[in-house]
């Protein structure tokens, strides 16, 4: 085996100048029959795999993987294999750990990870079969540069509507869109059309009809062919497309060569094949169930992997203010919660909460804060006074709280006063609160003969 840099590899093996390549464009190089060293994590054997695609990725921060004899510079999303844990982990997470044992051709070696402020374009390849290769002697996973939120199918993939199936391309046309004219990575809202397709409800474990909320077109990517072991019900999708297996939703690229998918008739054996072609990708979002059927197999839907902060109606920032200790042992924390985004009310408000590790959020402590801040209890140093409710004096908040707990009737009056000052209402926290006469309607008299 010859070891060379990715830049030289692109030039010498395929005659490509990476600087002239478009960012994100996959170039098929399978006809060159160039093989590189890889490792099959299922059989624990080394193998040589043919390079199918090369791609130039956008500029990103650098993570350095430092071993005894080399420094490997990768993107934060680049994945390495941890042989002792038998898992794939991103360079970003490994940089937070500081070091890890990775797999090399000679066996596990210790590698130090550190983040760099430098930014650079990245080059990547996709190989067949085991979908991994040795990069500077470290086993790496080819992920096509897309994270787990990149889940789409080809335009030819069949979707079930009512009692028939149509291709994804035909479905888009029924919704009034020609996918070839749609903008990439833009979500189109089609919820007003009330168009339904068959989906799977995970809560009820039943197949049902659900309304399509939005559709999206994604740039071309290498395709996988998924079909049953007897070559029935085929459909094409991206490596990041999620399907429902017995272990939950998994990305196609992470599945073994044979696996089982859920269909209406039950769990069905499937196999996957990496195809020598690329295609634009289409996806849709359905209500409630968050999934749909790809050629009859349950798949997970997405609108393109947008972060939740762009779509959430409410987002809050939680910050620890202090620890709560009892006899030197931490029993809880005080936290400050700031409302960063609120589509249903006024944003940028703050609240300070107390979390007890055993009891949860302490509502009594919150009442104590209001009792003091609203002046219901007079405070002089560490002493508190509430003569109007029968508390002559108490030393410290805990003593006040203990007195209130032992006088529930007085505590109810104090709570009522707090709620009155905060909201103007006088019925909060009252048992058997009276109802005003004009708020009460006598139910109509029911005459048996009229029923």
CATH number of the domain at 260, please: 2.170.16.10
Reported in sequence order, the residue ranges of 234-265 that DSSP labels E, i.e. its strands, are: 235-237, 242-245, 248-251, 258-263
Q: What is the pLDDT of residue 305?
A: 41
* 152 within a domain of the structure (yes/no): no
State whether the Cα torsion 13-18-22-25 is positive or negative.
Answer: positive
From 320, 336, 361, give the residue that closes a domain: 361
pLDDT for the residue 236: 87
pLDDT of residue 143: 46
Q: What is the pLDDT of residue 450?
A: 47
Taking the C-alpha atoms of residue 150 and residue 119, their distance in angstroms, rounded to an integer, is: 23
The domain in which residue 379 lies consists of: 375-437
Q: What is the pLDDT along the chain (451 residues), one digit of tens a residue?
A: 334 466 666 677 778 887 787 776 667 777 777 777 777 766 777 777 777 777 777 667 788 888 877 788 887 777 788 887 777 787 888 888 888 888 777 778 888 888 877 777 777 777 765 556 666 666 666 544 333 333 467 777 777 776 677 888 888 888 888 988 888 777 788 888 888 888 777 667 777 888 887 888 888 888 888 889 888 888 888 887 878 888 777 778 778 888 988 887 888 999 998 888 888 888 877 776 557 777 777 776 554 444 344 456 777 888 888 888 888 888 888 888 888 777 777 777 888 888 888 888 878 878 888 888 888 888 888 898 998 888 888 888 888 888 998 998 999 999 888 888 877 554 444 444 444 444 444 445 545 444 4
- Is residue 367 a part of any domain in this protein? no
Same domain, 299 and 184: yes
> Quick one: 72 and 52 in the same domain?
yes
Identify the H or E element spanning 73. strand 71-74
- Same domain for 166 and 298, yes or no, is yes
Do the domain assignments include residue 449?
Answer: no
Judge if 28 and 162 occupy the same domain: no
Are residues 319 and 426 located together in one domain of the fold?
Answer: no
Confidence at residue 283, expressed as pLDDT on a 0 to 100 scale? 81
> 22 lies in a domain?
yes
pLDDT of residue 270: 92
Say how far apart CA 451 and CA 438 lie, in whole Å.
Answer: 29
Longest CA–CA separation in the chain, Å: 97
Question: What is the pTM assigned to this prediction?
Answer: 0.42
DSSP category for residue 291: E
The answer to the question of residue 387 being in a domain is yes
How many C-beta neighbours within 10 Å does residue 139 have?
A: 24
Edge-to-edge strand list for the sheet holding 350-356: 314-326, 329-342, 350-356, 360-361
- Same-domain check for residues 289 and 229: yes
Residue 336 in any domain: the answer is yes
Same domain? For 293 and 200 the reply is yes
Same domain (yes/no): 41, 121? yes
Residue 147 lies in a domain: no
Give the count of domains, the chain.
Answer: 4
| 150 domain residue, yes or no | no
Residues 163 and 291 in one domain: yes
Is residue 320 domain-shared with residue 420, that is, in the same domain?
Answer: no
Q: Which residues fall within 8 angstroms of residue 107, CB to CB, at 6 or more apart?
A: none
Q: How far apart are CA 420 and CA 412, in angstroms?
A: 12
Element (H, E) at 316: strand 314-326
Check residue 152 and give its pLDDT.
64
Looking at the structure, do residues 127 and 258 belong to the same domain, yes or no? Answer: no
pLDDT score of 130: 54
Shared domain check, 117 and 77: yes
pLDDT of residue 146: 35
């Amino acid at each position: 085996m010859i070891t060379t840099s990715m830049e030289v590899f692109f030039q010498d093996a395929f005659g490509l100048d990476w600087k002239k390549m478009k960012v994100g464009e996959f170039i098929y190089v399978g006809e060159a029959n160039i093989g590189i060293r890889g490792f099959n994590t299922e059989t624990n054997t080394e193998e040589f795999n043919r390079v199918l695609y090369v791609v130039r990725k956008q500029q990103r921060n650098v993570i350095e993987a430092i071993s005894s004899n080399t420094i490997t510079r990768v993107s934060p999303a680049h994945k390495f294999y941890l042989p002792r844990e038998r898992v794939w982990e991103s360079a970003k997470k490994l940089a937070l750990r500081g070091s890890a044992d990775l797999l090399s051709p000679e066996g596990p070696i210790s590698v130090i990870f550190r983040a760099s402020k430098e930014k650079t374009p990245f080059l990547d390849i996709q190989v067949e079969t085991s979908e991994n290769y040795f990069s500077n002697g470290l086993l790496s996973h080819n992920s096509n540069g897309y994270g787990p939120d990149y889940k789409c199918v080809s335009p030819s993939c069949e979707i079930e509507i009512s009692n028939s199936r149509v291709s994804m391309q035909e479905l888009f046309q029924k919704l009034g869109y020609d996918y070839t004219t749609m903008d990439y990575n833009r979500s189109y809202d089609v919820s007003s059309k009330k168009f339904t397709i068959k989906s799977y409800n995970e809560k009820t474990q039943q197949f049902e009809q659900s309304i399509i909320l939005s559709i999206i077109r994604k740039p071309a990517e290498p395709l996988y062919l998924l079909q049953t072991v007897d070559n029935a019900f085929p459909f094409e999708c991206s490596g990041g497309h999620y399907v429902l297996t017995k272990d939950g939703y998994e990305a196609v690229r992470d599945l073994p060569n044979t696996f089982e998918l859920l269909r209406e008739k039950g769990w069905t054996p499937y196999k996957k094949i990496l195809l020598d072609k690329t295609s634009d990708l289409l996806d849709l979002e359905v209500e409630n169930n968050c999934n749909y059927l790809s050629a009859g197999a349950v798949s997970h839907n997405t609108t393109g992997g947008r972060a939740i902060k762009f779509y959430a109606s409410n987002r809050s920032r939680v910050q620890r203010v202090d620890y709560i200790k009892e006899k030197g042992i931490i029993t809880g924390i005080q936290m400050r919660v700031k409302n960063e985004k609120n589509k249903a009310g006024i944003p940028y408000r703050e609240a300070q909460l107390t979390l007890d590790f055993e009891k949860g959020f302490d509502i009594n402590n919150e009442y104590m804060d209001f009792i003091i801040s609203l002046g219901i209890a007079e405070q002089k140093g560490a002493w508190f006074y509430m003569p109007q409710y029968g508390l002559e004096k108490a030393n410290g908040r805990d003593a006040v709280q203990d007195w209130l707990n032992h006088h529930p009737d007085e505590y109810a009056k104090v709570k009522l006063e707090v709620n009155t000052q905060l909201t103007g209402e006088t019925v909060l926290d009252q048992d058997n609160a009276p109802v005003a006469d004009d708020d009460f309607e006598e139910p109509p008299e029911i005459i048996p003969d009229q029923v």
